[in-house]
Amino acid sequence: MKDAKKMIYNPFFLYSLLGICLVLSILFVEHNESFYDRPIAEVIEIKQLENAEMADSHNNKDRLFTQKIIAQLRNGEKKGQLIHLTNEYSLSKAYDQEYKEGQKIFVSIAENKEGSTELTGSILDLKRDQYLLFVLWIFIFILLIVGKKQGLFSVLSLAFNATLLSYALDVYLKHPQISLVLICSVAVILFTVVSLLLVNGFNDKTYAAIIATLLGTFSSLLVTYLVIELTSGNGLRYEEIQFITRPYQMVFLAGLFIGSLGAVMDVAITMSSSIFSLYEKNHSIPVKALKHSGLEIGKDIMGTMTNILFFAYISGSIPLLVLYIKNGSPLGFSLNMNLSLELARAMAGGIGIVLTIPIGLYVSIFFVNRKRART
């Protein structure tokens, strides 16, 4: 028993286990065609045909290329046969791509014309799973090499949170009468407890951070909800998420709620760790000094934390904005259509961050005082 435990913590053992997982998963993803229902083919020969310059009605110049592709089917009844495909792509590649030899693609096979034995069909999409897996492994290895145990916990917490989120959404889709915000509130509590315990372990610091995080996110949600109600959502363009056939305002609020959670947790744990470490260094430190130092730390972090959220939200809209502007939409209209929800999320997250500074400060001081009273 003891030996087994020792073996699990042996880094050599861990790394070789990881290495085996790496090799197995890569072997799997390179040869998993038979698990797919859709036909997959590997590109073996490409002939570049003509290319033509073109200009659209807004005078944007682009170039169109045509590729004749011969690919070999990798799964299904016709495995091993060759298929002839045509691909068109442009220089800008907004919605098309240039295929290269050796790539695997999803295809649909057309009915054979009478008399011809040649298989033809059309290209559906690229098979991307092997690239996704590759990035995932790099992510895991870099986190483990730099972060060691903490890196492992980050990977675990990401995996756990993603699974929990997916499960929460399943619950919502199965019972659409339950409000999504309510489901997300339950999920948020679980996210907070698990993530903070994983990052920081079982101690007073963590408990203070958990309470501060929950108070912080819920009050920021409340403020944002009140603002949206009072202004009756004026200035928010829900068009960009209207593709979902569900109450999109709820979906937006729930996204805002979850989105600010990580930043609020970060602030809460920073506040509680620093207050507790001040107390550990000097057990008789007056509450006034704790308050002062806590506020100073809060001032230092609030700007950069708000900016993290700002960039994480806003940057994703850049491709759409470019598309709008290149198609002759005025700048103001494009920004309004594509950024209003992202800006609202960033502001709401910022409000959560700022509110968590005093909340985290007072909750931590409360815990410090309790600890003092006990000793």
Integer-rounded Cα radius of gyration of the chain:
27
Polymer length of the chain? 375
In the complex with other proteins, the residue whose CB is nearer, 135 or 373, is: 135
Rounded Cα gap, residues 106 and 33, in angstroms: 10
Q: How far is the CB of 51 from other proteins (least distance, A)?
A: 13
3-state DSSP of 246-266: CCHHHHHHHHHHHHHHHHHHH
Rounded Cα gap, residues 60 and 54, in angstroms: 8
Give start and end residues of each alpha helix (H) in the chain. Answer: 2-9, 11-30, 129-174, 180-200, 204-230, 248-281, 287-314, 318-326, 331-374
In the complex with other proteins, the residue whose CB is nearer, 44 or 222, is: 222
Question: Is the CB of residue 83 less than 8 Å from the CB of residue 120?
Answer: yes
* CA proximity to 340, closest of 314, 316, 305: 314
Give the amino acid at 135. V
Helix (H) or strand (E) segment spanning residue 148: helix 129-174
In the complex with other proteins, the residue whose CB is nearer, 38 or 372, is: 38
Q: How far is the CB of 320 from other proteins (least distance, A)?
A: 8
Give the amino acid at 367. F
Q: How far is the CB of 346 from other proteins (least distance, A)?
A: 8
Q: What is the DSSP letter of 111?
A: P
Q: What is the DSSP letter of 70?
A: E
In the complex with other proteins, the residue whose CB is nearer, 203 or 307, is: 307
Q: How far is the CB of 372 from other proteins (least distance, A)?
A: 25
Tokens of 369: 């005082």
Strand partners, 104: 42
In the complex with other proteins, the residue whose CB is nearer, 110 or 159, is: 159
In the complex with other proteins, the residue whose CB is nearer, 4 or 244, is: 244
Q: How far is the CB of 371 from other proteins (least distance, A)?
A: 21
In the complex with other proteins, the residue whose CB is nearer, 7 or 24, is: 24
Q: How far is the CB of 18 from other proteins (least distance, A)?
A: 16
In the complex with other proteins, the residue whose CB is nearer, 120 or 329, is: 329
CA atoms in the 13 A half-sphere facing the CB of 335: 5
Q: How far is the CB of 149 from other proteins (least distance, A)?
A: 8
Cα dihedral 272, 275, 279, 284 sign: negative
Q: How far is the CB of 271 from other proteins (least distance, A)?
A: 12
The helix-helix angle for 248-281 and 331-374 (nearest 10°) equals: 40
